[in-house]
Amino acid sequence: MSTVKVAGIGWAQPGDERLSHAELLYRSTRKALEDAGLKRDAITSAVTTSFDYIEGRNLSNQFTLDSIGGVMKSCDLRLSDDGIHSIAAGTMEALSEPGGVVVVGAVQMAGTELIDSTNRVVEETFFEPLYLRPVLEGHANPEALAFGLAARAYLARHGIDEKRLAELVAARSAGGEEARTVEEILDSPVIAGPLHDGHRARRVDAAATLILTTDAPNGARASIRGIGWCAEDGQLANRDLSEQRPTALAAERAYADAGVTDPAAELARVEAYNAYGIDEAMTVEALGLAAAGKGLDALLDGDAKVNPTGGVQGSGWARGAASLVQAVKAMEEMSGQSGALLASQGWSGPGASSSAVAVFEIGA
């Protein structure tokens, strides 16, 4: 079977400029095409991810596909999902049309002044209406409350002091624009004990783009060696909140494709989603990098391969795009490590009910 190559990469943030999300995605795509040495007319298909409710608009792909040259192509797919999921869709499209050029992009911007109330209403409707929704209704951050329940289940099951979670978030945020100490995190308002407002990554606007093809005449940033994705019941009461089962199943598939049998030894770098901190601890266990209940210890004791730049706690969280942004940044930073394996993970859905994992071989 053909190997899908990452021929070019690009990412963008608005800085002090006032940009539309279409312009932001255009900028990251232009960088990716330049990186691949390709022109816009080479594009044969396009895949984008974003979340309408975060931007406060319907059918947001109407404003993104034209930004990446995806209008009237054989595939113009838009996913309401996390950025890493778009790699799965883009990889399948590239394999279905060998030699074609697939643009995979993700963008997220805060949108309107009504965004907080819009987010709250939509997040409330994620959950079962008779028992769970009354618990979440009116809460400023329904999704964060769900992660608070997960944090409580995880820490209680493994007998871990909640200060350890705050220590992880403080360490990850240290290199970012909003560094937080353990004391600041624990003194911030409680969302759902043990999760505090200070555990949440700060929101940012960002876009990222990958150029995928089975034929990269100008060389490749990386090859996609494995990809996996999984979703389970979105209702919290039907799941074991102390573990990340979708990530474990997605990783199992990605590792099988990539031929990875010992991820702790074979992976050179891992970008794991950590919007709330507790998600990172459970993810490293699901990825096979730590035993159950030992994720926090592994991360705090210096596993430098996981989120070496702090993940979204350090860089900021653009919901739906951040995992793709982190993957692109990692590929840039690993450009001299030919043959090294990078694993990137991202979640979406109510309380991380869906997850995707991609394994890249740098420079192959």
User: pLDDT tens across 294-304, in order?
Assistant: 999 999 987 67
Confidence of residue 19 (pLDDT cuts 50, 70, 90): confident
User: Would the pLDDT of 237 be above 60?
Assistant: yes
Q: Do both 9 and 150 map to the same domain?
A: no
Query: Residue 310's pLDDT band (boundaries 50, 70, 90)?
Result: very high
Task: Out of 110-114, 256-260, 314-318, pick the least confident.
Answer: 110-114
Same domain, 60 and 122: no
Taking the alpha carbons at both ends of the chain, their separation in whole angstroms is 16
pLDDT for the residue numbered 77: 72
Shared domain for 166 and 84, answered yes or no, is no
Q: Are residues 277 and 334 in the same domain?
A: yes
Residue of 364, 359, 322 lying closest to 344 (CA atoms): 359
179, 213, 247 — which closes off a domain?
Answer: 213
Which pLDDT does position 122 carry in this prediction? 72
- Cα–Cα distance, 324 to 321 (Å, whole number): 6
Contacts of 87 (CB under 8 A, 6+ apart): 104, 210, 212, 224, 227, 324, 327, 344, 356, 358
* Model pLDDT for residues 125-144, shown as the tens digit of each residue: 777 776 677 776 666 677 88
Is residue 306 within 8 A of residue 250, CB to CB? The reply is: no
Per-residue tokens: 296: 């926090």
Residue type, 218: N
> Which pLDDT value is given to residue 320?
84
Same domain, 75 and 209: yes
pLDDT mean across residues, the chain: 88
Q: Are residues 13 and 154 in the same domain?
A: no
Tell me the pairing of strands 45-49 and 102-108: parallel
- Looking at the fold, whether 147 and 261 belong to one and the same domain comes out as no
Q: What is the pTM of this model?
A: 0.92
Q: Which residue has the higher pLDDT, 172 or 364?
A: 172
1 or 273, which is more confident?
273
User: 258 and 356 share a domain?
Assistant: yes
Parent domain of 28: 5-112+203-213
Helices 142-158 & 278-286 angle (0-180, nearest 10): 60
- Among 213, 246, 268, the domain-final residue is 213
CA–CA gap between residue 78 and residue 347 (Å, rounded)? 17
Is residue 38 located within the same domain as residue 126?
Answer: no
Q: Per-residue pLDDT averaged across 142-150, rounded?
A: 86
Give the number of domains in the chain: 3
- Residue 75 belongs to domain with CATH number: 3.40.47.10
With contact defined as beta carbons under 8 Å apart, do 341 and 268 qualify? yes
- Let me know whether 185 and 309 are in one domain: no
The answer on 95 and 124 residing in a single domain is no
Q: In this structure, are 31 and 103 located in the same domain?
A: yes
Q: What span, in angstroms and rounded, lies between the C-alpha atoms of 242 and 15?
A: 37
